[in-house]
Amino acid sequence: QSALTQPRSVSGSPGQSVTISCTGTSRDVGGYNYVSWYQQHPDKAPKLMIYDVIKRPSGVPDRFSGAKSGNTASLTISGLQADDEGDYYCCSQADDYVVFGGGTKLTVL
Amino acid sequence: QLQLQESGPGLVRPSETLSLTCTVSGDSISRNTHFWAWIRQPPGKGLEWIGSINHSGNTYYKPSLKGRVTISIDTSKNQFFLRLNSVTAADTAMYYCARELGGAADFWGRGTLVTVSS
């Protein structure tokens, strides 16, 4: 039950788009359409941004979108804004547990 | 609006048992089809899912924590609980409770910091 693999950091300028990848195995990301993404600001609880690979909870802007191909999921943030800066975690249902990615720090330049 | 609140000791001695309570308000645990989860985050590190329970008491745990962790529920009090035995400094973390389904945790508590130290 290794953690899902995410890049440690990504960056982009305001208005640009960034994509964060999340690589697992056929026992987690590739085997279930239950991938979720979280945004976390310093000293705050995580916030659900995407669930079931592509769905957005109420109140999450459509600038955030999710996708999956094989064992890799991705989160794309378009029209970057300063408030998007923070840590992002992917998460997947696995065979009989749930596993998180190691997290990606997004810097808005 | 659903709210969750963690409570419990902020300091636990090594080798002892960490015990936390999550109190749910705004909805009934017993009416809810979701699972109720414990998730932790060591200082400066990433999120780690510990385990989840539903209103019927069905549980699933992170494999590497099985044998040390127990999650239970009391639907009459709208609470669920975490017990982690034989703690070490590696168990020092912010502990969150959350409502989840398929790994999607849509409501979270604010978290409680637990330090393991003598």
The answer to whether residue A1 scores a pLDDT higher than 80 is no
Rounded to 5 degrees, what angle do the CA atoms B21, B106, A84 make? 120
- The mean predicted confidence, pLDDT, of chain B is 95
CB contact (8 A) between residue A98 and residue B37:
yes
The answer to whether residue A63 scores a pLDDT higher than 70 is yes
The answer to whether residue A89 scores a pLDDT higher than 80 is yes
Distance CA B78, CA B75 (A): 5
Distance CA A35, CA B6 (A): 26
Strands B11-12 and B112-116: what pairing? parallel
Range name among B5-9, B28-32, B87-91 with the lowest pLDDT average? B28-32
The answer to whether residue B75 scores a pLDDT higher than 90 is yes
Question: Does any CB of chain B come closer than 8 Å to the CB of residue A9?
Answer: no
Contacts of B62 in chain A (CB under 8 A): 1, 97-98
The answer to whether residue B30 scores a pLDDT higher than 90 is no
The answer to whether residue A96 scores a pLDDT higher than 90 is no
Query: Distance of CA A18 to CAs A22, A78, A79, A85, B104, Å?
Result: 13, 7, 9, 11, 22
Contacts of B103 in chain A (CB under 8 A): 34-36, 51, 91-93, 98-99
State pLDDT tens for residues B45-64. Answer: 999 999 999 999 999 999 99
Which of these, B41, B43, B15, lies nearest to B98 by C-alpha position?
B41
Give residue A29's pLDDT band: very low, low, confident or very high (50, 70, 90): very high
Rounded to 5 degrees, what angle do the CA atoms B100, A33, A47 make? 40
Which of A47, A92, A102 lies closest to B103 in CB terms? A92
Mean pLDDT of A1-16: 93
Give residue B102's pLDDT band: very low, low, confident or very high (50, 70, 90): confident
Mean pLDDT of A62-77: 98
How many contiguous H segments (helices) and E segments (strands) does chain A have?
Answer: 0, 9
Range name among A28-37, A44-53, B29-38 with the lowest pLDDT average? B29-38
Question: Does any CB of chain A come closer than 8 Å to the CB of residue B62?
Answer: yes
Alpha-carbon radius of gyration of chain B: 13
